[in-house]
Amino acid sequence: MEAAVFIAAAAVILVGAVGVVGSRNPVHSALFLIQTLLGAAVLFVLQDAHFLAAVQVVVYAGAIVILFLFVIMLLGVDRAMRLDIEPIAGQRPLAVIVGVALAAVLLTVTVVATGELTGVRRAAGERALDNGLSDVERLGRVLFSQYALAVQATAVLLTIAVVGAVVLTRRHGGHSGPSGEET
């Protein structure tokens, strides 16, 4: 059962990933990216990480790719491109080399850390420890007790980023208007 779901989700992810790189049209690339993200959400559910799956859909598929699409549509780059032109010389071979190297590093780390190719499932005894608590509750407890300071620092950082973005657009745009409020 688990293997079947994994294979199906992996196929969806792989098709999406290839589609992101291979599409001529940037909007199609963004759509394939959503497919990849949704497939990854299924994998999270398979690992009992329900909250992570929901956040994946809400934040990545629901907000970030929407932003990508807005930028693509409003900048007017939403038409098909010729893929045989290389804007940066040597980019493609370099991309292949870096990709293969990254995969090799990840695999090495997994094998060294766990001794297996796909990682290990948690033991049954370990699972019994969090019995009765959902992953949302466990995550909340850890974040708001052990890592409370880090959470608050992140919140402050995000607020500063938002304020900074608003200030920058206002100074740059010259006049305030409804466009400044959509950031």
Partner 1 sequence: MILAADPLLSGPVGLPEVLIVLLKVGAAFAFLLVSVMLMIWFERKLLGGMHQRMGPTIAGPWGVLQTLADGIKLFFKEDLIPDRSDRLVFKLAPYLSLVPAFLVFVIVPLGGDFAGGSGVVRWWGRDTYLQVADPPVGVLLFLAMSSVAVYGVMLAGWSSGSKYPLLGSVRASAQMVSYEAALGLAVAAVVLMAGSLSTHDMVLAQAGPGYFGIIPSWNIVLTGFVPFVVFAVAGTAELNRPPFDLVEAEQELVGGFHTEYSSIRFALFYLAEFMNTITMSAVIVTLFLGGPSGPVLIGAIDWAWGVIWFSVKLFAFLFGFVWMRATLPRFRYDQLMDLGWKLLIPLSLGWFLFLAALETGRDRGWNLAVVTVVTVAGFVLAGFLLAGALASARRGGDRFGPGGGGDDGDDGDDGDDGEPRDRVLEEAG
Contact residues toward partner 1 (CB under 8 A) are: 25, 27-28, 31, 34, 45-46, 48, 50-51, 53-55, 57-58, 61-63, 66, 69-70, 73-74, 78, 134-136, 170, 173-178, 181-182
- Kindly state the smallest distance separating residue 14's Cβ from partner 1, in Å: 20
- Kindly state the smallest distance separating residue 141's Cβ from partner 1, in Å: 13
Is residue 173 within 8 A of residue 180, CB to CB? The reply is yes
- Kindly state the smallest distance separating residue 131's Cβ from partner 1, in Å: 12
Measured from the CB atom, the residue of 90 and 178 that comes closer to partner 1 is 178
- Kindly state the smallest distance separating residue 165's Cβ from partner 1, in Å: 14
Distance CA 40, CA 112 (A): 24
Distance CA 59, CA 44 (A): 15
In angstroms, the Cα distances linking 32 to 11, 100, 144 are: 13, 22, 35
Measured from the CB atom, the residue of 51 and 110 that comes closer to partner 1 is 51
Measured from the CB atom, the residue of 98 and 163 that comes closer to partner 1 is 163
Burial class from Cβ neighbours inside 10 Å (0-12, 13-18, 19+) for residue 27 reads middle
Distance CA 173, CA 182 (A): 13
